[in-house]
Amino acid sequence: MVGAGAFFVFSQVLERSLHVYLLKLNPTTAAWFQAHPIGFALYGCLAAGLFEEVGRVVGMRTLVRVSGTPGTAVAYGIGHGGLEAILIGGLAMVQTFTFAILLNSGRFDATLGSTVSPDANARMRAGLEQLSLAGLAMGTRTPDSVIDPDWFVRGSLARG
């Protein structure tokens, strides 16, 4: 629980707050990152590392009882990594799976039409269709469907 809590507070709350400030609320830094993609990549790497490592130190030093066994650190890591996998990997897979179902059923544009710009809609559609072509190339789907939602499930099970 401590690992999951530290990950959530430091990565999802504090780090995200810094991102919102630097990338949306502060036009100077937002423009700079837009013009310097390598600087943006370095910022992203350093921010993730700093917030997650400080979260680990705070969690392990203040919230975990000292036991002297490696099991404590392993349990902490399972909580931290488990929540990270669920929030980042699992939710992204659910979103992609949902979009695939909407695209296959012909409801993609009707569902997202007014909530996203036409450019964003076209980019999402192109990304999903690119995944569809990857599935076709790997032989995991047939040409008769735009995207086979089962492909996402099989892919995640094969990696997990």
Q: Which two tokens stand for residue 32?
A: 């700079």
> Under a CB-based contact definition with an 8 Å cutoff, are residues 55 and 83 in contact?
no
What average pLDDT does range 22-32 have in this prediction? Answer: 93
For the chain, what is the mean pLDDT? 77
Q: Residue 111: pLDDT above 70?
A: yes
Take residue 5 and report the two structure tokens written for it.
């809590």
Give the residue-averaged pLDDT of 106-120: 79
d(Cα 132, Cα 137) in Å, to the nearest integer?
A: 9
Asked if residue 154 has pLDDT above 50, the reply is yes
Residue-level pLDDT at 150: 57
Amino acid in position 35: A
- Does the pLDDT value for residue 18 go beyond 70? yes
Domain boundaries, given as residue ranges, for the chain: 1-64, 86-160
Confidence of residue 50 (pLDDT cuts 50, 70, 90): very high
Residue 114: partners with Cβ closer than 8 Å, 6 or more residues away: none
Interior/surface letters 20-56, b for 16+ CB within 10 angstroms, e for the rest = eebeeeeeebeeebeeeeeebeebeeebeeebbeebb
